[in-house]
Amino acid sequence: MFIIRPIEEKDLDGLMELLEKSGHGLTTLPKDPEVLRKRIRNSERSFFHRDEGPGGEDYLFVMEELFTGKIVGVCAIISKIGGFQPYYFYRLEKTHHESKTINVKNDITSLHFHFVHNGPAEICSLYLHPDFRNSQNGRFLSLSRFLFIAENRKFFEDQVIAEMRGMVNDSGHSPFWDSVGKHFFKIDFPTADYLSIKNKRFIEEMMPKHPIIANLLPEEAQFVIGKVHPNTEPAKKILEQEGFHFSGLVGIFEPGPVLIADVDKIRSIKESMIGEIKEISDKNFKSEIFIIARTNGSFRSALGGVTKLKSGGYKIAGVTAAALKLRLGDKIRFVSFRPKSPKKKK
């Protein structure tokens, strides 16, 4: 059984072990213990010291195998991007050109340097150990964050983005970087990726502000614009099922797509419910699978069954109650694990 909970400083070694297999592209979680320790401490402050509204808090969660204590996954939410240090993207624009004189039609794609000072929330830093990847664990790791947002709605912006990992191979090679970035930064892609964690200011200092015409780039560089890494396709599909769509923005270094959604329209937030536990059962009972989070104490989430009782309140299994440290009378927030299929019209 797995739970998702806020990261703690004691999890550093487990996180480092998890990230050993992450390869290139997980920009926000470099394999640097000092950088990770700083981010863990920042996350701990975010959970316990918040202002009245979103102020750029960074909430980092781990997915833990309950009976072994092994860290098998990680994910994060930033309450608001921008502020003191802006975030940088390319904005894609397409223009249609047509000449009746020579009977030619052509679409031109251009990339415009775009920065965000007062931005939306962001979900990021999602990584699941290869040995534990399946449709259930990946979906649980991704969607559990939305129950946290629902429980703490006032601490998040009204929109949320997800910058998807672009087409970078395991050795850190990016065809887009080779055609664009390296000419302006004079460093290799992994180095630029790493430096952007510490301070993004060099991006604005070195990047030209004129649009880049994508049609002039080599074909392999054009091909990856707006594309996700194959390992990221499942995560992209999950978010699209939740209501996310392409924002028109792509990443600066490797131009993976940036998805966006209105927070209150995200399925797992909009359809989540709150109920009181009136029965904890040691016996199996029929129920669809729900993502369940406790509403008291620090955030803690698990998968399990929930049944509404005729007398009012809800029943959950004993193993779920133990995993979430719940007792009779406690309240839970829960949502269906998968979107319900639309009813077919007769």
Does residue 346 belong to any structural domain of this protein? no
Q: Are residues 143 and 99 in the same domain?
A: yes
Cα dihedral across residues 69, 74, 75, 76: positive or negative: positive
- For residue 20, tell me if it sits in a domain: yes
Tell me how far apart the alpha carbons of residues 114 and 86 are, in angstroms, rounded to a whole number. 10
Tell me if 11 is assigned to some domain.
yes
Q: How many angstroms separate the Cα of 105 from the Cα of each of 94, 100, 101, 280?
A: 13, 9, 11, 67
The answer, yes or no, to whether residue 37 has pLDDT greater than 90, is yes
For position 306, what pLDDT does the model report?
Answer: 96
Domains contained in the chain, number: 2
pLDDT at 344: 55
pLDDT tens string 128-165: 999 999 879 999 999 999 999 999 999 999 999 999 98
pLDDT exceeds cutoff 60 at 345: no
For residues 249 and 316, membership in a common domain is answered with no
Going by pLDDT thresholds of 50, 70 and 90, the confidence category of residue 221 is very high
- Report pLDDT for 293: 98
3-state secondary structure of 345: coil
Task: For residue 345, tell me if it sits in a domain.
Answer: no
Whether 110 is in a domain gets the answer yes
The mean pLDDT of the chain is 91
211/204 Cα distance (integer angstroms): 14
pLDDT, tens digit (0-9, with 9 covering 90-100), for 165-205:
888 876 667 889 889 888 888 888 778 877 877 777 888 88
Q: Residue 24's pLDDT band (boundaries 50, 70, 90)?
A: low
Q: What is the pLDDT of residue 26?
A: 73
Do 231 and 286 lie in one domain? The reply is no
Q: What percent of the chain has pLDDT over 70?
A: 97
Q: What is the mean pLDDT of residues 296-307?
A: 94
Q: Does residue 310 sit in the same domain as residue 260?
A: no
Which residues does 315 contact at the CB level (< 8 Å), separation at least 6? 277, 278, 279, 280, 281, 285, 306, 307, 308, 309
In a domain, 160, yes or no: yes
Phi and psi angles of residue 125, each rounded to the nearest 5 degrees, phi first:
55, 35
Which pLDDT belongs to residue 196?
79
Residues 216 and 275 in one domain: no
- Examine the domain organization and report whether 259 and 276 are in the same domain: no
155 part of a folded domain: yes
For residue 302, give the CATH number of its domain. Answer: 2.40.40.20
259 and 207 together in one domain: yes
Tell which of 267, 286, 310 closes a domain: 267
Residue 139 and residue 281 in one domain: no
Q: What is the pLDDT of residue 187?
A: 83
Domain that holds residue 85: 2-267
98-120: per-residue pLDDT in tens? 999 999 999 999 999 998 888 89
106 Cβ contact partners less than 8 Å away, ≥ 6 residues apart: 96, 97, 98
285 vs 43, which has greater pLDDT?
A: 43
- Of the chain, the percentage scoring pLDDT greater than 90 comes to 69
pLDDT band of 342, cuts 50, 70, 90: low
Q: Which residues are catalytic?
A: 229
The model's confidence at residue 343, banded by pLDDT at 50, 70 and 90, is low
Query: What pLDDT, on the 0 to 100 scale, is given for residue 171?
Result: 67
Q: Phi, psi at residue 70, to the nearest 5°?
A: -75, 135
pLDDT at 313: 94
Domain final residue, candidates 212, 239, 267: 267
Q: Is residue 343 part of a domain?
A: no
Each residue's pLDDT tens digit, 309-334: 998 999 999 999 999 999 999 999 99
Domain edge (last residue) among 249, 267, 285:
267
CATH number for the domain that contains residue 164: 3.40.630.30
Quote the CA–CA distance of 274 and 304 in Å, as a whole number: 15
> Looking at the structure, do residues 247 and 306 belong to the same domain, yes or no?
no
State whether 182 and 311 are in the same domain: no
Q: Mean per-residue pLDDT for 4-16?
A: 97
One domain for residues 312 and 198: no
206 and 300 both lie in a single domain: no
Residues 81, 122: contact at Cβ < 8 Å? yes
70-81 average pLDDT score: 96
3-state secondary structure of 221: helix
Task: Tell me: pLDDT of 84 over 80.
Answer: no
- pTM for the model: 0.91
Name the range with the highest mean pLDDT among 13-17, 50-54, 227-231, 250-254.
13-17
